[in-house]
Amino acid sequence: MFTIHLDQLKFHGHHGVHDEETLVGNNFEVSVSVTFIAPEKIESLSDTINYVALHQIIRDIFKKPVKLLETLALDICDQLNAYDRRIKSINISINKLNPPINNFTGSVGVSIIKEYEVLL
């Protein structure tokens, strides 16, 4: 098995439950690890999973506002798995970099590890 990592991806999105978040938006940081079944010897792009395609899927999902980060994380996992059924597991973390909390320093976020049955 191999794992592809996309770390500290930056996106702007309109996700959240507060009116300001849906209007102004917020900055997010996403890290994703995708573990997949591959041949012992990888010699072409078709033997692996294209990280450019994974990034595009995540970017497209970020354009569709949802209220909860948990929903966003699950949507990303399911769309990535639908893209390539060789995926065994997805580990994703999403951080909201400027949460609507007075006098707050830091970020808030969610993480999930989702396992899938491999369909070859």
Domain made up of 2-113: CATH architecture: 2-Layer Sandwich (3.30)
**Residue 94 confidence (pLDDT):** 97
pLDDT one-digit tens code per residue, 71-111: 999 999 999 999 999 999 999 999 999 887 888 888 899 99
As a whole number of Å, the end-to-end CA separation of the chain is 14
Element (H, E) at 84: none
Reported as a single tens digit per residue, the pLDDT across 53-78 is 999 999 999 999 999 999 999 999 99
Output the six-digit token pair for 39. Answer: 């041949």
- Put simply, whether the predicted model's pTM sits higher than 0.85 gets the answer yes
Residue 46 tokens read as: 């078709």
Cα 38 to Cα 23: distance, rounded to the nearest angstrom: 43
Any idea where the domains of the chain sit in the sequence?
2-113
Q: What is the pLDDT of residue 106?
A: 84
List the beta bridge partners of residue 114. 90
pLDDT score for 48: 92
pLDDT of residue 8: 97
